Structure 1
Amino acid sequence: MAKGLLFLAAAASLTGSTFAACTPADSKTYDYIVVGSGAGGIVVADKLSEAGKSVLLLERGPPSTGKFNGTQKPSWLSGTNLTRYDVPGLFNQIWADGVPSCPDTGVQAGCVLGGGVAVNSALYWKPHPDDWDVNFPTGWKSTDMAKYTDSVFSRIPGTYIPSKDGKLYLQQAYDTVSKGLDSAGFKYVVANDAPTSKNMSYAHPAFYIANGERHGPLRSYLETAYARSNFALYTDSNVRRVVRTGGHVTGVEVQCNGGNGHSGTINVTPGTGRVILAAGTFGTARLLFRSGIGPTDILNVVKGSSTDGSTMISTDQWINLPVGSNVNDHVGTDIQISHPNVVNYDFYGAWSNPVSADKDAYLNKRSGALTVVAPNLGPIAWTMVNGTDGKVRHIQWQMRVEGRSNTAMTITQYLGMGTTSRGKIDIQANMNTRVVTAPYLRDAADKQAAIDGLEAMRGYLSKISGVSWITPTASQTSQAFINSVPATVASRNSNHWVGSATIGSDDGRTGGKAVVDLDTKVYGTDNLFVVDASIFPGITTGNPSAAIFIAAEKAADRILALAAPAQGRRFKA
């Protein structure tokens, strides 16, 4: 099949059903099979194919952007090479119709070409050095990551001015809040020029947008990979499990998800081939569980299931690792203010009935209000809190125009880097993953940091003349408000999940926390790797996309530097 790029006219069903158009897996083998086309998978697949290796990238969902023949779009984009995923003003539509979410993750995830980087708000800035220096092991510190950071930002420069005409639109809320932050002593920075200035600072939000359209890995790493003859991409092809004998993986079992998806077993090159899981914090954990890798109690659930029990690898070849035991997410706390200067733009209405002048400006010039990322983000601010346990915790404040009135702004407090609370995910008998322990404010110092951070921000925003408080109310204490929001996924989820297959030198088979080693290779195997947010030991300061791109470049180098695994070598679980 030429190149293996598959097309779909509507949102794919993700049930694993058999479709008439499904294609049986062929007998071709690959040096590398990469599972998942998100932030990690696209980048690592490009770097491996650049090195001359044959690479197959597998995505369970349909195409997304117009560049790769996606077709999901409103009627006013008919006749253009644009889809809902290309237009910044349509980014928020995912909250209206849920497409293309994954039905088996327990949280919202992007099951579409590009994964999260196709459906998120495209926020993008260089990680704070602490994201590496506090969280990551030796060899993955900020100095080790510097050249990969430079490489990523040379390919995806990012911008805080998404409109092609160089103008910023819908700045009323930004102007109002930034004046208050100035009065409170905050410093304005250009986010990607000042990665270390993330305390008492604010910025226009930066995005991986170029010329008014979504950019990022889809329009850089994937484009260069796809141009190579040694690269193939299959969409609508859901990986059920990796096929292995002991610690040696021979391929992956795929199920067709519609369109022209594939079914059957796809093999890696005998003796030297490798499989890389990049299916996200939940998807990668599920694949490991279904492949006999994880805590014994969870593997027994898979063994006892009607779907996997008869085909699961035998118990004597299970690899007992703490998969799913170190998950983390930003603690999300929404507050709302109102100000008469705030202007609410109807981005949801733009789906079916956009303002004519704005539609024309976008289609003809890639300028105007529809280049604004819905729902009109900014400013972004950063603070730090000295915790009661002596640890510094980073907070990112993400402001957007939406709320209970047309003059409301919602401001999310993302309590992140430095938090010590962790959660856990597992798998159910229907093979759906779920959060069994939420990672929010389980530690008293984390909760106090959220309270102290909120109290400080309330003081800063009070300097804005004419501001009124919606939540918390003016009479409600910060402590009472933080305590009133349940520490559950439903109330606190930021959807920045990390940590289900943590990287480290402390082998999880012998009591450590790590699932993968410093080369991102799964302990107990010789040719199975993980390259996505799963390997992050802790959450980042802010949105983790850039950090994942950088980590994927680093991981590709580590993987390529390894000697080829011995054919048929077996690792004792």
Structure 2
Amino acid sequence: MRSFLTSLAFIAGTYAQSSVYTDANTGITFQRYANTEGVSFGIAVPQTPASDFIGQMVAPNNGSGYAGVSLTPSMTGSLLVVAWPNNNSVVASLRETSGYTSPGVYTASGLSVSPIANGTFVNSTHLAYTFLCTGCMGLDLSFAGNSTSITLGWALGTKAVTNPSSASTASFAYHDGGSEILVLLYLAQPLRTTLRGLQWQPPMGLDLEAQPRTQLAPQRLLMSPPLCPIQPTTILLLELDGRDHCGRSTMAWNDTVTQYDVPSMAYYLTTASDTSEYCTDVASMAGCLLGGGTMVNALMFVRPQEADFNDKWPTGWKFTDVKASADKLYERNPGTTLSSVDRQRYDQSAWNILSPFFGSIGYKEVDAIQSPNEKTQVFSHPPWDIQDGLRAGPVKSYLPLAKAMSNFKLTLNTKVVRAIRNGSTISGVEVEDSTGSRQIINVNPGGNVILASGTMSTPRILYNSGIGPTDQITTVANGCTGVKLPSKADWINLPVGKNLRDHPIFTLTFNTTANATSMLSTDFLSPNTTDIDLFAKGSGPLAQSGQRLNFWTSMNTTNGTRFFQGTCNSPAAGQVRIKLYLTHGATSSGVLGITSDGATEFTTSPWMNTDADKTAVITLIDSLLAAARNSSSLTPSSTMSGASLVSNYITGDHFVGTAMMGTSNDGTAVVDTDTKVFGTDNLFVVDASIHPDLPTGNTQAIVMVVAEHAASKILALGSSASNSSRTAIPSKKSPCRSAPTAMSKRPSKRLYRF
């Protein structure tokens, strides 16, 4: 069990709005955050901020617990103000968080917390601690007083405090709740207060409407809640999976984390004890749990280069257009090339062997996070989607923010079957629960439906909605899924399922005489005590994914430039392995169709079906093999060649393109540049299926950039003209006799209703 201060974001991290509040007991006006659990924290700073502020913490009182506020959002290296009841009095202490242990007393001179009597008390239901924090602003462990906004963390524990009468020797057990708080300092600063010992002059009133509105963050789809009042809209997220935060697949050696949270497990999920996260009705591997593919991928977070957008994306989606959206994403979900909190790298034999090899053949070392545009003859420590030693991604960085919004609802165990169409308008969606029962959920008047089911599954929903090639819709009509299609006259003929693209991966394994000592799979599946203890501090080999070196290069050919990515590790002692991807610039494509029982299938394979792609792959593999044979550290098999490997590839499962974006309904595109499906008024698609081109690396980062940009596009459109007034209508279970028994475990289907 982890002790007191785990990552505040890990324990259901959420952002929330703050508001102005005047405390009747002290007369002090605070910028205050409050939640539904009875926790609140307020802050007041002088009109000319220096180093002191007044804070007020209120928390439920069970007689023995505690409450704490971290002065940064980080789990380590932060000042923590913690308070607890001791009989009828409040005891408080200023601590420094240093890891997953009870935080120690902060002893630096000039810093202290002092109670303000009128605002500090214990009653039968709550604890209140109002205090002057002297010298607390402007430190590395805290926030700057002149900040426009700050993010703080809180922790709440119900277990007894050890030595509760002593502010210096008390210690704390694991906390039960925690979150992140967004406090707007620019709203707190105008409070006309003057520090005089422990007395502040009564503050003036604050007119919110007089504050500069340009400082308020705009509302974004599934991003942080708006800092201005929430607009009168509702958002419903429908998710097939029944596990909120994947809670049932915990680790045998630490039951506070799941197999999806532990970064090192990213390479071993297909062999883990629970593999129910994978979909069973799609043409290739896909994640079938809350978070979809972002929860089961190998954690590669390759920020897209400018060419990934500039080459084939339409006007409005070039890199200069999406850059602001990319910056928003990276601010919240940045990725890293150094994931261990202790700033150490572990199990580095593959790096130690391959980095000098690539350096010897003209490649240079870069940081892939900091230099996303350098994608020719470069290598880097792997860029991972890891934060605080845990898997990052939208389930950690976006979903909690949405769940904090009063107008957001998440519904689990719900599969989206089709969109209900009245001509061009979507009036509702038909859904199926885990028992197979179906019903219709109506869209609010003026509402929109956004499909985010992925390249493998969004086409299924579109086919079932009468949208796509006639032959695929006919398969649905003649199938056994019980889907009710619109009349044939209302079918919308669009190239759904076409332009399917993926990264093929070629594996090159080398023997080496260098010191290649690789950690075995058992080191990750059944780790030793040392690595478990390191992980509890956000560090060690368990806080890394499986790659040890990445490289990129490109090749100019007669029909364009092709890019390649390599991910490398040491699979066993005396060996290193390169997984070589053909990426941006590949010309091979395929087609995704649907079967009579409702699963998607490849009707045309998307890999290596052009001679130009084959020639490029053979050329690059042969050049790498030639360099290895001339090196002193790598020994390739004598029979290995580009020609022998070009047909021996595995799928990248980085699919894009089956609902491709375009500027017009010319027979090549499914959605317009606002991501709206052609021929409809209020049906949108926001997932990898709309991407018209493969990126230079793994798809996770670029999909999230596109989602940020799409959100701004959709919100700019405003409401549609939907006028549905139907109520929920139950419908019958699918009559398919040949459907597989595991069909209830289907892909994550994400739909938003505004």
- TM normalised by structure 1 equals 0.83
2:93 corresponds to: none
1:398 corresponds to: 567
AA partner of residue 698 (structure 2): N
Kindly indicate whether residue 282 of structure 2 is the aligned counterpart of residue 282 of structure 1.
no
Among 399, 419, 428, the alignment partner of 1:222 is 399
CA positional deviation for 1:563: 4.1
Distance, in Å, in 2 between the alignment partners of 1:103 and 1:89 is: 25
Report if the CA contact (8 A) 2:497-2:592 is conserved.
yes
Kindly indicate whether residue 240 of structure 2 is the aligned counterpart of residue 70 of structure 1.
no
Q: Counterparts in 2 of 1:127-142, with a 5 A limit?
A: 127-142=304-319
Report if the CA contact (8 A) 2:340-2:538 is conserved.
yes
Kindly indicate whether residue 521 of structure 2 is the aligned counterpart of residue 347 of structure 1.
yes
Q: Counterparts in 2 of 1:37-436, with a 5 A limit?
A: 45-47=221-223, 50=226, 52=231, 53-63=233-243, 68=245, 70-78=247-255, 80=256, 82-97=257-272, 98-257=275-434, 264-270=439-445, 272-309=446-483, 311-340=484-513, 341-348=515-522, 350-351=524-525, 353-363=526-536, 365-373=537-545, 376-389=546-559, 391-402=560-571, 405-436=572-603
**SS in structure 2 at match of 1:191:** coil
CA positional deviation for 1:410: 2.7
Residues 264, 406 of structure 1: alpha-carbon distance in 2 compared, 3 angstrom cutoff: farther
**SS in structure 2 at match of 1:193:** coil
Distance, in Å, in 1 between the alignment partners of 2:631 and 2:394 is: 39
AA partner of residue 481 (structure 2): T
Structure with more of its chain in helix, by fraction: 1
**SS in structure 2 at match of 1:377:** coil
CA positional deviation for 1:367: 1.5
CA positional deviation for 1:408: 2.7
AA partner of residue 305 (structure 1): G
Report if the CA contact (8 A) 2:625-2:641 is conserved.
no
Report if the CA contact (8 A) 2:568-2:576 is conserved.
yes
**SS in structure 1 at match of 2:653:** coil
AA partner of residue 299 (structure 1): I
Report if the CA contact (8 A) 1:298-1:427 is conserved.
yes
CA positional deviation for 1:273: 0.4
Kindly indicate whether residue 685 of structure 2 is the aligned counterpart of residue 530 of structure 1.
yes
1:119-152 CA distance string (max 9 Å, x none): 1122113211110001201110011111111111
1:26 corresponds to: none
Distance, in Å, in 2 between the alignment partners of 1:312 and 1:291 is: 6
Report if the CA contact (8 A) 1:385-1:452 is conserved.
no
AA partner of residue 558 (structure 2): T
AA partner of residue 451 (structure 2): L
Distance, in Å, in 1 between the alignment partners of 2:722 and 2:547 is: 52
CA positional deviation for 1:517: 0.5
**SS in structure 1 at match of 2:242:** coil
Among 546, 556, 559, the alignment partner of 2:711 is 556
Distance, in Å, in 2 between the alignment partners of 1:567 and 1:162 is: 47
Distance, in Å, in 1 between the alignment partners of 2:285 and 2:246 is: 24
1:506-560 CA distance string (max 9 Å, x none): 31xxx42100001000000000000000001111100111111111111111111
Residues 502, 480 of structure 1: alpha-carbon distance in 2 compared, 3 angstrom cutoff: same
CA positional deviation for 1:455: 1.8
**SS in structure 1 at match of 2:258:** coil
- TM normalised by structure 2 equals 0.64
Report if the CA contact (8 A) 1:285-1:501 is conserved.
yes
Distance, in Å, in 2 between the alignment partners of 1:95 and 1:474 is: 32
Distance, in Å, in 2 between the alignment partners of 1:262 and 1:76 is: 38
CA positional deviation for 1:257: 2.6
Residues 397, 69 of structure 1: alpha-carbon distance in 2 compared, 3 angstrom cutoff: closer
Query: Which deviates more from structure 2 when the two are superposed, residues 231-240 or residues 181-190?
Result: 231-240
**SS in structure 1 at match of 2:521:** coil
1:148-197 CA distance string (max 9 Å, x none): 11111111122111111111101111111001011111110011211111
Report if the CA contact (8 A) 1:327-1:439 is conserved.
yes
**SS in structure 1 at match of 2:632:** coil
AA partner of residue 501 (structure 1): A
Unaligned runs of 5+ in 2: 1-218, 725-754
Q: Counterparts in 2 of 1:431-510, with a 5 A limit?
A: 431-462=598-629, 464-469=631-636, 473-482=637-646, 484-485=647-648, 491-507=649-665
Report if the CA contact (8 A) 2:269-2:296 is conserved.
yes
Among 500, 505, 521, the alignment partner of 2:676 is 521
AA partner of residue 654 (structure 2): H
Structure with more of its chain in strand, by fraction: 2
1:416-444 CA distance string (max 9 Å, x none): 11112110010001101011211112121
**SS in structure 2 at match of 1:89:** helix
Distance, in Å, in 1 between the alignment partners of 2:627 and 2:248 is: 45
Distance, in Å, in 2 between the alignment partners of 1:566 and 1:132 is: 32
Distance, in Å, in 2 between the alignment partners of 1:156 and 1:438 is: 34
Number of positions where the alignment pairs a residue of Structure 1 with one of Structure 2? 500
CA positional deviation for 1:459: 3.3
Residues 348, 60 of structure 1: alpha-carbon distance in 2 compared, 3 angstrom cutoff: farther
**SS in structure 2 at match of 1:299:** helix
Distance, in Å, in 1 between the alignment partners of 2:565 and 2:621 is: 11
Report if the CA contact (8 A) 1:181-1:461 is conserved.
no
Distance, in Å, in 2 between the alignment partners of 1:361 and 1:476 is: 40
**SS in structure 1 at match of 2:320:** helix
AA partner of residue 553 (structure 1): E
AA partner of residue 410 (structure 1): R
* CA RMSD across the alignment: 2.1
Distance, in Å, in 2 between the alignment partners of 1:506 and 1:387 is: 30
CA positional deviation for 1:347: 3.0
Identity of aligned residues (%): 36
CA positional deviation for 1:564: 2.5
AA partner of residue 290 (structure 2): L
Distance, in Å, in 2 between the alignment partners of 1:536 and 1:197 is: 22
1:35 corresponds to: none
Distance, in Å, in 2 between the alignment partners of 1:355 and 1:448 is: 46
Higher RCO by CA contacts (8 Å cutoff, separation 6 or greater):
1
Q: Counterparts in 2 of 1:14-53, with a 5 A limit?
A: 45-47=221-223, 50=226, 52=231, 53=233
Unaligned runs of 5+ in 1: 1-42, 486-490
**SS in structure 2 at match of 1:175:** helix
Report if the CA contact (8 A) 1:49-1:231 is conserved.
no
Q: Which has the larger radius of gyration?
A: 2
Distance, in Å, in 2 between the alignment partners of 1:103 and 1:45 is: 29
Residues 336, 69 of structure 1: alpha-carbon distance in 2 compared, 3 angstrom cutoff: closer
